[in-house]
Structure 1
C-alpha cells in the first residue's frame, strides 16, 4: 500500500489504512496459549513499516464442539430473535456486517495467512469491505473472532472511518452463510498505541462467542508511514436470528 494525500477529516496524510492487527491466538488442548512473536498481522508492501509482533494465526486450534457457555449479565431481548444470556453458534462464514449507528453495510472477504505468517489485508481500493481470518473463528462461534476494516483509502474514508463513534450498548449484526444472523452487543470501544497493544486481552482465549472490530486510529506518522494506534471494539454475542 502506498501513502495517499492528506485526508479531509484529520489534516494528516491520507493513506491506505494501516490497521495492523495482530493475529488470533488460541489454546492448544484448551490449556496453553501460544505466543509467536516477530510476525505481522497484515502483509504489507515495500513502503510499509514493521508492525508490532503478534501470535501466529496459523497455530489456532480447530473449532471445538459446543459446550455450555458462561452467562453474560448484559444480554438483552430483541423482538423476533432468540434471546439468551450467553450462547454460541456453529461455525459458518460471515457474509455481511451491518452497523446501523454508523451506516455500515458491508460484505466480508476472507483473509489468508501470507508466507511471512502475517494476515493479508483486504483490497486497499475497496472502501466498503471488511475482512475476517477465514482459517480462524467465525463471528458467532465460540471464541474470539477478528473483523478488520480500513480507516481510509487513497481517495476517501473507508468502511471503518466512523468506528470510534460506537459506544457500549450499541449493537451490530453479522449475516452468516448458513442463513442465520448473529447480533453482537458492544462492551467497550478503546484505543491502544501499537507499541503497547494488549494481545492477551484482544485475542482472548474464551468459551464465549466474542468479536473484535479493529481499525487504525491516532495520529499519522509520516516517517513510519503508519497510524500510531489501533481502535478496538469489544463485543459479545447477544442474540441469534
Structure 2
C-alpha cells in the first residue's frame, strides 16, 4: 500500500493532521499536505490461494486475500444503521484537502490517492461524528465490537466485507500514525472519526476513534 499520503513520515504526519481536523465539526481549517498529483499505480494482481508445490518442495503460504482496485460506492454498517454514499477526498486548488460537504450528515469520505476498500493495503475512510446542528454518520461508531462485520459496495459491483479487529480511541496529541496508516500486505481498512470531549476553545474534539478491520 501507499500509506496516506506517501511512504514518508512527513507525508503521513501531514495526512494524520488532515484526518483529525476533517472528521470533526470544525471543518473550516484543514491541515496542509503535499500529496502527489499522480494517481498511484494499483499493485499487481496476486492470487488469493497458493498453487500446489511440486513434490519435494515446501508448501507455500496462501497469498493475502484482496480485491482489484475499484472505487467505493456505499458503506453499510447494519449494527449502527449506517447506509451512506462515498465522496472522494482530494487536494483543492488551495493545496488543502477538500472536506465532504458540511451540510450532509450522511456522507463518508475516502482518501482517493490511497488503496480502495478491499484492495491490498490500508484504506482510509473518514466521517463526521456530528455537525453544529445534529449527529452525523459516525455518531455511533464506538458501538462496533470485535468480530462484527460491515460492507462496502464498490463500483465494480463487488461487495467488500470487513471484520472488525478492534475499536480504539487515541488522544489527538499522541496519535499512533504508524499503527493506523502503516502499509500492509493484506486488505485492511480504518474508519476514523472524532471522539472524547469537545474543546469549545479549540473548537475541536480531544480524541480520535479508529476502527481497525480486515477484508473477510
Shift of 1:69: 6.7
Task: Compare 53-62 and 145-154 and name the one that shifted more.
Answer: 53-62
Contact 2:109 2:127 in 1 (8 A): yes
Give the equivalent residue in structure 1 for 2:98: 120
Q: How many residues align?
A: 196
Give the equivalent residue in structure 2 for 1:3: none
Give the equivalent residue in structure 1 for 2:4: 24
Shift of 1:57: 4.1
Q: RMSD over aligned Cα, in angstroms?
A: 2.9
Q: Which runs of 5+ in 2 are unaligned?
A: 51-61
**3-state SS of paired residue (1:172):** strand
**3-state SS of paired residue (2:162):** strand
Q: Does 1:131 align with 2:106?
A: no
Cα deviation 1:117-141 (Å, max 9, x = unaligned): 5432111111111111222211001
2:187 to 195, 209, 216: 209
Give the equivalent residue in structure 2 for 1:167: 145
Q: Please, what TM-score do these two structures have when normalized by structure 1?
A: 0.72
Give, in whole Å, the separation in 1 of the partners of 2:47 and 2:210. 27
Give the equivalent residue in structure 2 for 1:104: 82
Task: Compare 53-62 and 162-171 and name the one that shifted more.
Answer: 53-62
Q: Which runs of 5+ in 1 are unaligned?
A: 1-22, 28-32, 72-83
Contact 1:89 1:140 in 2 (8 A): yes
Q: Please, what TM-score do these two structures have when normalized by structure 2?
A: 0.79
**3-state SS of paired residue (1:195):** helix
1:64 to 19, 39, 43: 43
The 3 A distance-change label for structure 1 pair 136 and 62 is same
Give the structure with the larger helix fraction: 2
Give the equivalent residue in structure 1 for 2:57: none
The 3 A distance-change label for structure 1 pair 233 and 54 is farther
